[in-house]
């Protein structure tokens, strides 16, 4: 076995993150590590990558003791990790990033020829001749930037174990296929690839074996072939999720949001829709089709050059502050970049847009702010130490729930949700789906953008597809299937 971890334990104070975890990966295989947010996946991989030290347990790499002193030491020994948040220097070229800190030299000078040879060898290993060493990283697509990060892992050492953390979270469908082809090539060359993902369809597609972590312990695993997604979910959640997509009886009411031929500066090209109270309207389409731009235009973040927007009795474009006062809330797909103030506390993030009632006059009493936040922490089952904990310390699923809690605290009537379950675990997805169902049943209106077709069909009343900036008509979800939606998204329908 290429890699074997036995009885690994790690605690942070009184919190036990890993408890007697066993894990192993063979050469020439993709081994998926799955589990809910907070299950211990990141901690285990950081120990393997040299970023953390285990309190107990043993690790062997190709039969020899392996306990790296640092990430650099881990790479030197053949273990490299590519994090979900890429760590590239955008102003440098591909080759400068790939060999950053490991530049070959002679007599104190960088050997540019040797740099080029080593980088081209790494890129050839990935099968990407179109990625040029002299290209500036800031000019590359997200997919090309990710491949640059992988090339760095391969070039800086005799890489034997490659760890990929949510590698498809920011990739389009075509780029995902190219990544999978790259993984197949690396398998044939004898690498052990550890693949961390919340998307079970990807795990079933690309992985040979899987291991499930729950509450810091190994609870199951085995060959992917012959294991159903429902069985993986049962192991991850510790219970059988018979109904992932709840759908209560809903009674659509008055039209609360109406668009007529809305066009942005670039996208959308043309969008018309009606959204009613008590309804979930889904918008699908490929990445870059203009779905996010549509929500941003409605909320006032992006200007419009043509068209008509009506929110209840309010007509015309408005600023985000005005939209909030009109009862419209926006959940960004980029929760860390613009959806949350991650350095601030859970309480601050939940209440900042609506501080009224949290103290006399214009004051905010921490006691009242924390009390208001605790109600939403309990309602949404946010896993945190308390209202005062910094959001940056939470898992992705809990961060997303904090962003959603802010809209609920603001008591908005229309929720614009952009990829609300991207990058979070199955159990957290189920909880967010339940919240959306409860909101619709209570008469709120939800406009949901998602790239996950089962999600659109599972929780939406109607679905409209956006193709090259043009939004199609909303049709009942029960009359659609994934094949139809995919054909429309690609312009083949």
> What would the mean pLDDT of 223-241 be, rounded to a whole number?
78
Confidence of residue 32 (pLDDT cuts 50, 70, 90): very high
Output the pLDDT for position 243: 59
- Domain range annotation of the chain: 3-237, 255-489
pLDDT at 493: 63
Q: Are 467 and 288 in contact (CB under 8 A)?
A: no
pLDDT at 86 over 90: no
Q: Which of 228-232, 419-423, 476-480 has the highest average model confidence (pLDDT)?
A: 476-480
Which CATH code fits 255-489? 3.40.50.300
Most confident listed range (169-173, 257-261, 422-426): 257-261
Question: Do the Cβ atoms of 395 and 429 come closer than 8 Å?
Answer: no
* Per-residue confidence band for 445, with pLDDT thresholds at 50, 70 and 90: very high
pLDDT attached to residue 239? 55
Give the pLDDT confidence of 163-222 residue by residue, as tens digits.
998 888 767 777 788 788 888 988 998 999 999 987 788 899 999 999 999 888 999 999
pLDDT at position 402, please?
A: 94
Q: Which superfamily is assigned to 3-237 in CATH?
A: P-loop containing nucleotide triphosphate hydrolases (3.40.50.300)
Radius of gyration (Cα) for the chain, nearest Å?
24
Residue 278 confidence (pLDDT): 96
**Whose CA is closest to 195, among 220, 171, 162, 226?**
162
Residue 130 pLDDT greater than 80, yes or no: no
Q: Which two tokens stand for residue 228?
A: 């159903």
Are both 3-237 and 255-489 of the same fold?
Answer: yes
Tell me which H or E stretch contains 350.
helix 346-351
Q: Is the per-residue pLDDT at 408 higher than 60? A: yes
Residue 461: band (very low, low, confident or very high) from pLDDT cuts 50, 70, 90 = very high
- Rounded Cα–Cα distance for residues 267 and 263 (Å): 6
Judged against a pLDDT cut of 90, whether residue 146 lies above it is answered with no
Class of residue 476 by CB neighbours under 10 A (exposed 0-12, middle 13-18, buried 19+) = exposed
Cβ(464)–Cβ(470) below 8 Å: no
Helix axes 112-126, 173-188, angle to 10 degrees: 100
Which is more confidently placed, 85 or 259?
Answer: 259
pLDDT for 339 equals: 87
Beta carbons within 8 Å of 327's beta carbon, 6+ residues apart:
311, 312, 411, 412, 413, 414
């Amino acid at each position: 076995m290429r890699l074997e971890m036995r009885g690994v334990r790690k605690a942070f104070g009184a919190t036990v993150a890993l408890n007697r975890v066993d894990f192993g990966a063979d050469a020439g295989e993709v081994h998926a590590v799955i589990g809910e947010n907070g299950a211990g996946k990141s901690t285990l991989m950081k120990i393997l990558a040299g970023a953390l030290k285990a309190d107990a347990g043993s690790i062997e790499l190709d039969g020899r003791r392996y306990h790296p002193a640092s990430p650099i030491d881990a790479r030197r020994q053949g273990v490299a990790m590519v994090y979900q948040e890429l760590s590239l220097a955008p102003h440098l070229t591909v080759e400068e990033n790939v060999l950053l800190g490991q530049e070959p030299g002679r007599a104190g000078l960088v050997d540019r020829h040797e740099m080029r040879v080593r980088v081209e060898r790494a890129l050839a290993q990935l099968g990407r001749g179109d990625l040029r060493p002299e290209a500036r990283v800031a000019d590359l697509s997200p997919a090309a930037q990710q491949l640059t990060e992988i090339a760095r892992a391969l070039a800086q050492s005799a890489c034997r174990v490659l760890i990929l953390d949510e590698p498809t979270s920011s990739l389009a469908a075509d780029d995902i296929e190219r990544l999978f082809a790259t993984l197949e090539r690396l398998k044939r060359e004898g690498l052990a690839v550890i693949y961390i993902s919340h998307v079970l369809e990807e795990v079933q597609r690309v992985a040979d074996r899987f291991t499930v972590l729950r509450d810091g312990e190994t609870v199951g695993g085995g060959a992917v072939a012959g294991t159903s997604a429902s069985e993986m979910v049962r192991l991850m959640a510790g219970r059988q999720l018979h109904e992932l997509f709840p759908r209560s009886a809903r009674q659509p009411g008055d039209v609360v949001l109406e668009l007529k031929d809305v066009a942005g500066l670039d996208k959308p090209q043309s969008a018309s829709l009606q959204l009613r109270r008590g309804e979930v309207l889904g918008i699908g389409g490929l990445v870059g089709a203009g779905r996010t731009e549509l929500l941003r235009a409605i909320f006032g973040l992006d200007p419009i050059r043509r068209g008509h927007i009506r929110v209840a009795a309010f007509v015309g474009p408005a600023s985000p502050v005005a939209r909030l006062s009109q009862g419209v809330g926006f959940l960004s797909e980029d929760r860390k970049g613009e959806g949350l103030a991650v350095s601030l506390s859970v309480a601050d993030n939940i209440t900042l847009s609506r501080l009224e009632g949290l103290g006399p006059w214009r004051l905010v009493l921490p006691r009242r702010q924390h009390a208001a936040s605790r109600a939403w922490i309990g309602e949404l089952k946010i896993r945190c130490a308390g209202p005062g904990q910094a959001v940056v310390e939470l898992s992705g699923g809990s961060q997303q729930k904090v962003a959603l809690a802010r809209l609920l605290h603001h008591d908005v009537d229309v929720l614009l949700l952009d990829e609300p379950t991207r990058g979070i675990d199955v159990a957290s997805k189920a909880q967010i789906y339940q919240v959306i169902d409860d909101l619709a049943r209570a008469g709120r209106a939800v406009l949901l953008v998602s790239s996950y077709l089962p999600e659109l069909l599972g929780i939406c009343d109607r679905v409209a597809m956006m193709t090259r900036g043009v939004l199609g008509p909303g049709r009942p979800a029960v009359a659609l299937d994934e094949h139809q939606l995919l054909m429309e998204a690609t312009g083949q329908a």
